[in-house]
Amino acid sequence: MDYQAVLEEVADRARPLVRQGRVADYIPALERVSPDRFGIALTDIHGETYGVGDWEVPFSVQSISKAFSLALVLAQEDQSIWKRVGREPSGTPFNSLVQLEWEQGIPRNPFLNSGALVVTDRLQTLTGDASTALLDFMREESGNPELSFDQAVAGSEAEHGNRNAALAHFMASFGNLENPVPSVIEHYFWQCSIEMSCRDLATAGGFLARHGLRADGTRLLHARDAKRMNAVMLTCGTYDAAGEFAYRVGLPAKSGVGGGIVAVVPGRCTLCVWSPGLDARGNSVAGAAALDHFTTLTGWSVF
């Protein structure tokens, strides 16, 4: 398949939607990002990468980081994390307290903010420095040693992170955090602030398309765990719009309010698309449309 030609056609179809939606304005550092940006990249299972538009421009990964931190935890401790966080779709906003209270401090899935805080907490226990461990992993898998945190974004999130602090304190009251709340929150904000391009993210996520194999050929996850991660991404990875996304796109994916979406075609490739304009549920409008066009053109989905 001519990947470059496919991506160019996908971009042409998605660009009319680029200015639709709203840039995430509840994090002031993200509000300054131009809504005109659009990029898409594809990395095949052999590591060859193709891209169109702003595919090499770094942006804040935000919740996309949740998938990678979960992979690191699963790689180190097998299945014990699932005793502290579920695997079911939530049907509620990603920062909701309501469901968490009903379920006695056990987040519904690892891609809600509450679930990601539990995963970050566990990664902190396992590594002693959760945010640095994640950054090092991203550098290795993307092949880009220059990746770094965006201090302005991390600071902006910390200044406006009362809801996340409430989630963490609430879970701590049920005994579902191992580390002090301020430490967990700090590492969570740093993880979300990592800056990466579509190229970087498509390449870094390749282990999910290679059934758990890293870029260097070593095994990060058992094939079973890579399959299960992809399943949770399909059902929970795009906030409370996962059903609609599966209907339209049909691929495991993880989105972030920075406007990025990483999607996986198991056994074939990983994609990342970026466009900052978000819909009401926090997913990129043009990004979701681009992935919809991609699966329609190629016929590649998990269905």
pLDDT confidence of residue 79: 86
pLDDT value at 95 more than 80: no
Phi–psi pair at 19, nearest 5 degrees:
-90, 0
* 21 pLDDT tier (thresholds 50, 70, 90): very high
Distance CA 194, CA 32 (A): 17
Q: Which of 81-90, 94-103, 145-154 has the lowest mean pLDDT?
A: 94-103
CA 51 to each of CA 4, 12, 23, 33, 99: distance values in angstroms, whole numbers, following the listed order: 7, 13, 23, 21, 40
pLDDT confidence of residue 292: 98
Judge contact between 150 and 60, C-beta under 8 A.
Answer: yes
pLDDT confidence of residue 97: 78
pLDDT digits (tens, 9 = 90+) for 171-202: 999 999 999 999 999 999 999 999 999 999 99
Distance CA 256, CA 57 (A): 16
pLDDT digits (tens, 9 = 90+) for 100-114: 888 899 999 999 999
Active-site residue numbers? 63, 66, 188, 239, 257
For strand 194-196 and strand 59-60, is the pairing parallel, antiparallel, or unpaired? Answer: antiparallel
pLDDT confidence of residue 74: 97
CA 128 to each of CA 120, 124, 132, 275: distance values in angstroms, whole numbers, following the listed order: 11, 5, 9, 34
Q: Mean per-residue pLDDT for 74-81?
A: 89
pLDDT digits (tens, 9 = 90+) for 163-173: 999 999 999 99
* 77 pLDDT tier (thresholds 50, 70, 90): confident
pLDDT confidence of residue 26: 81
For strand 59-60 and strand 148-149, is the pairing parallel, antiparallel, or unpaired? Answer: unpaired
Residue 3: CB atoms within 10 Å? 18
pTM (global) more than 0.75: yes
The pLDDT > 90 percentage for the chain reads 88
pLDDT value at 94 more than 80: no
Q: 40-50 in b/e burial notation, b at 16+ Cβ within 10 A?
A: bbbbbbeeebb
Is the model more confident about 55 or about 92?
55
Residues 6+ apart with CB under 8 A from 135: 147, 148, 149, 194
pLDDT digits (tens, 9 = 90+) for 231-277: 999 999 999 899 999 999 999 999 999 999 999 999 999 999 999 99
Bridge partners, residue 41, by sequence: 51, 272
Mean pLDDT, the chain, integer: 95
pLDDT confidence of residue 155: 93
pLDDT value at 140 more than 90: yes
Q: 218-240 in b/e burial notation, b at 16+ Cβ within 10 A?
A: eebbeeebbebbbebbbbbbbbb
pLDDT digits (tens, 9 = 90+) for 4-20: 999 999 999 999 999 99
pLDDT confidence of residue 16: 97
Give the domains, in start order, of the chain with CATH numbers: 3-298 (3.40.710.10)
